[in-house]
A and B are shown apart, each in its own frame.
Chain A
């Protein structure tokens, strides 16, 4: 990774053009900071770094004549390590912006530092709506997804597909409650009914009693308001209990292609979930998916594709602004529509939220899947304006009318 960056820098130095004067330190440096060895290593991880590098290469390796450099670090899900690295990058290593930022505690910590130091941060890996709510920043952006979009996608759109009655399996802490509450709201708005919910402690291994309650409730949809390993365990055990086979639907609120791949179709079939990207959706996404697959041996999920899109948009904004100074670039990013395979004609709200479509998907059965990584059927497309909180209502001071 370092070698290619150095090669790029050398190449650029050999052909140093005049325009580089507008770029601070003669190069644009983007830091990808995420979990590369812990529980989210597949969710974002090194694959996001690859996606960012692809974006830099596709842009031509240079912006306004200055070389683009992508560096990365593994924050190990510890906000103090992330904070230390972020400060060091900004203070001593001329990093112009930090992106990806998996896990909300890390994303919020880096958000505060970036705002203080007037640098751009672009989050693709964290779910919290705080980032574009009370903790929004004029230089902060949130791409790819958030808890609100997931709740609208799975909660609202699934009711329209006929899933009228719901029962929740909720992780017993703030994240679980907020997912359950938000999703219930959309279920009710669309005329659905919530029959009940059961709370399980974080890190549960045995879901049998919770799943039995869900089964006994007779609800059409069992919603999993939890994350990571808890969701995976619940899905595996639900397959053993035959929840999907007996006609109930299982809806995971935070689950991506990477986790479906980890579980395998046998266990995950019939699961419904929401993502803002699917590689096999159209020609452009397939083309990106194939190229990503050639480099990494896996297909991208919404975090990887979102990171690509974020890096590309940032570089486009630098080119348009004619400088890499934070304020003009941030302004261009707020004004310029995002137009790539990830988001088409999408806009960034005043609170920094990228408002793009999200998709309700169903995991295929092993028989339906025709090729490796052919995992989803797209059930519905939820327009961005419906999926994300209206910036004016988001609680962000910058977006107040």
Chain B
């Protein structure tokens, strides 16, 4: 009996892995072919925001910390990258690394203070510190106030590949996006990620098990900030500017919106959410409807109808459950209760 059980789970697992790899391969293929059908600059924007939302989700979805200050990392990295590339003449990849490093340092400072409290208090600390950073950016001379850093050269990747060609730029963005996603996947599916999840589920229990929860939280915060910085730096190179929009609190709100719409704690959810929100704001820009109103209504409808987010609801549906069943965590839920 037990032997049969294991073989069926095993074959199911194999089937599911196949289904998963096929889906991933299809997804990557779609992204490779997409610029032939959709305007590349728009796609690059979607990818930047998708990476941003995924990085944010690493903190909210997997560690259970709601940060309302991620714009500081996103916009801050955009400023650092733009400044490094424009004023110091660095190549784009080095410029982005400067952005990532800057965002990580900011993440260390903000995270260090924010994780000392929990829940709404921690969120308010992130918001307050991010607002302080916004006002710093508003006044610091190197950001050029509300004009922003403009005309950032896209330059040559590794000194060789001309990024002003939009196809080259697109594939560079896609590569960075996939790398970032891989990093997040790796972090989530590691022993470290398991501990983060345990902190999310029951912090006191994690402490009683002997984990130094604060360190794990801080590490997650810094990783999330650094990956957000990656997205921000990339965006500065794509659009060739860094402005106050990306550090304002609206941006922190927007990323929460993206993640909620797509599905908290799923890997694909934030990507979907980001694509959805950016498409909306772009589509309604040329329509006669007021953009903010429409996004607000859509957000309300989504929150009321899809409480787990669009992708979250899909996972919870029968089809989604069948696809992801063999994963150990879901398996445990599906088992009938022992009597």
Q: Which residues of A contact B (CB under 8 A)?
A: 1, 36-38, 71-81, 83-85, 87-88, 91-92, 103-105, 108-109, 111-112, 128, 130, 135, 172-175, 201-202
Contact = CB atoms under 8 A, between A and B. Distances in A.
B185 interface: no
A37 B162 CA distance: 37
A130 B144 CA distance: 11
Nearest to B242: A79
A84 B147 contact: no
Nearest to A87: B41
Nearest to B49: A80
Interface stretch (B6-14, B25-33, B286-294): B286-294
B240 A37 contact: no
A135 B151 contact: yes
Contacts of A135: 150-151
A79 B241 contact: yes
Given A79-B245, A80-B235, A72 B286 contact: yes
A87 B240 CA distance: 12
Contacts of B83: none
B303 to A, nearest CB: 22
Given A174-B139, A174-B145, A201-B135, A81 B285 contact: yes
A76 B288 contact: no
B201 interface: no
B148 A108 contact: yes
Contacts of A91: 39
B42 to A, nearest CB: 6
Given A73-B286, A105-B241, A80 B148 contact: no
A105 B135 contact: no
B239 A76 contact: no
Given A83-B241, A91-B39, A135-B150, A37 B45 contact: no
Given A84-B282, A105-B244, A108-B147, 20 more contacts: A71-B286, A73-B285, A74-B291, A76-B281, A76-B285, A76-B291, A77-B245, A79-B148, A79-B243, A80-B45, A83-B41, A83-B240, A84-B42, A84-B45, A84-B239, A88-B41, A109-B243, A112-B151, A173-B139, A174-B139
A173 B145 contact: yes
Contacts of B245: 77-80, 105
B284 interface: yes
B239 A109 contact: yes
Given A77-B245, A79-B239, A91-B39, A85 B285 contact: yes
B146 interface: yes
A88 B150 CA distance: 19
12 contacts: A75-B285, A76-B291, A79-B245, A80-B235, A81-B281, A83-B239, A84-B41, A85-B282, A105-B245, A111-B150, A112-B150, A174-B144
A71 B285 CA distance: 11
The 4 A-B pairs with the shortest beta carbon distances in the complex, nearest first, are: A174-B145, A105-B243, A108-B150, A173-B138
Interface residues of B, number: 33
Contacts of B239: 79-80, 83-84, 109
Contact of A74 (B151, B246, B284): B284
A174 B142 CA distance: 11
Contacts of A88: 39, 41-42
Nearest to A37: B290
A38 B292 CA distance: 8
Nearest to A127: B146
Contacts of A108: 147-148, 150-151, 241
Contacts of A173: 138-139, 145-146
B247 to A, nearest CB: 12
A86 to B, nearest CB: 10
A201 B135 CA distance: 9
Question: Which of A75, A76, A85, A88 has most B Cβ within 10 Å?
Answer: A76
B138 to A, nearest CB: 4
A78 B45 CA distance: 13
Contacts of B144: 174
Contacts of B241: 79, 83, 105, 108-109, 112
Question: Which of A79, A130, A172 has most B Cβ within 10 Å?
Answer: A79
B282 A174 contact: no
B30 to A, nearest CB: 20
B154 to A, nearest CB: 10
Contact of A81 (B39, B282, B288): B282
A202 B147 CA distance: 15
Contact of B288 (A1, A77, A128): A1
Nearest to A202: B138
A78 B49 CA distance: 14
B238 to A, nearest CB: 9
Nearest to A2: B288
Nearest to A108: B150
A172 B282 CA distance: 32
A367 B128 CA distance: 47
Interface in B36-54: 39, 41-42, 45
A77 B243 CA distance: 11
